[in-house]
Homo-oligomer: A and B are copies of this chain.
Amino acid sequence: MPKQMSRHSTVLKSPRRQAGKPRPHSGEPTHGPLTAEELQLAVRNHSMPLEALRKDTTPPGLHYVLTHFDIPFIDTDHWHLQIGGAVQRSLELSFRALLRAPSITIPVTLECAGNGRSLLRPRPLSQPWVLEAVGTAVWTGVPLAYLLTQAGVEDDAVEVLFSGVDTGVQGGVRQQFARSLPIEEALRPDVVLAYRMNGAELPPQHGYPLRLVVPGWYGMASVKWLSSIKVLTRPYDGFQQAVAYRYQEDADDAGTPVTWMKVRSLMVPPGVPDFFSRSRILPPGPVLLTGRAWSGQGAVQRVDVGIDGKWAPAHLEHPPAPFAWCAWSMPWVADPGEHEVSCRATDASGAVQPLEPVWNYQGMGNNVVQRIKVTVGQ
């Protein structure tokens, strides 16, 4: 757990950014209506329908997806992974060679760092997630550390850079999507170069043929459609590292990097929905409220369930892996009328979900508690 990512890290003071640098978003945060651009992103990328919280493992088409540029459709006959930079032996691996390397299989919960963004006021202009940009998959692939060790990391290495083949423009900057990890993170035994998701070939939108999976970190770290891995002796300062994915107070704040997932819980909405409002209708009587909770900053230690603002601890199950979500449940006897049900997780670092959104300039890491309106019939 990195020291700098305490639960109070969201809006840390930091040095001022120089004027004229690229901006992460295409306009200042707004109190205005949702724009056509945000709607286009919302219908294109998708979050996880909350009823999929019933499943330990999220089916691929229900797992959240965020694609910055276009989804590449890659032919593995013409694809190689390059491993180079500050290493003793550069490697170039075909897809077949990767399949022959030792592999691990690991369940991991991934969440978009921008989850909850649309609930912020003013609203940062980017992908307008509500609450459910999350999913848990079982990833199979080669431990990154195995290949880095094969290549032989030089002593002065500080970071490892991962580049995808996906290209486009963001914040006025033409770029190939690329992000780095500190060398000590890259050498963790559970960081994986994944070529299978839930036992099947990676779907195109999840990074076929090869993606990084960094358990515990927000999703942007798990670079998709990998083409090269480069060991660096200086920190990477590309767009997705130095401009995007930062906790900033305002446009001029250099901010702090977005890294580990904050603690969050979500509930399967009880009863049945109204199609348009998604408000819930259920009969009176006993109902078992269920959901999932996760954190990248420490094991989930408790989940409290709130019924009309009164909180009580739920039953919590052990997660299947350190960075996979854990199931929780809470019996409730629903009596007729209007209710608000909610859930709130606490992790081993002491972090607890806030009752109100915590604002920052890019709309990152908003782990506010979920609130569900429920109408219990007579």
Contacts and interface: CB of A to CB of B under 8 A. Distances in A.
A131 to B, nearest CB: 9
A267 interface: no
| Interface band, chain A | 35 or more
A71 interface: yes
A208 to B, nearest CB: 9
Q: Which of A34, A41, A45, A276 has the most CB of B within 10 A?
A: A276
The DSSP consensus for interface residues of chain A is: loop
A275 B69 contact: yes
Instruction: Give this chain's copy count.
Output: 2
A135 to B, nearest CB: 11
A49 B34 contact: no
A22 to B, nearest CB: 12
A130 B60 contact: no
A125 B276 CA distance: 8
Interface in A13-44: 25-26, 32-34, 37, 39-44
Contacts of A204: 52, 59, 62
A168 interface: yes
Given A39-B118, A43-B129, 13 more contacts: A34-B34, A34-B39, A40-B278, A44-B278, A51-B73, A59-B205, A60-B60, A61-B203, A68-B275, A69-B273, A70-B272, A168-B281, A170-B274
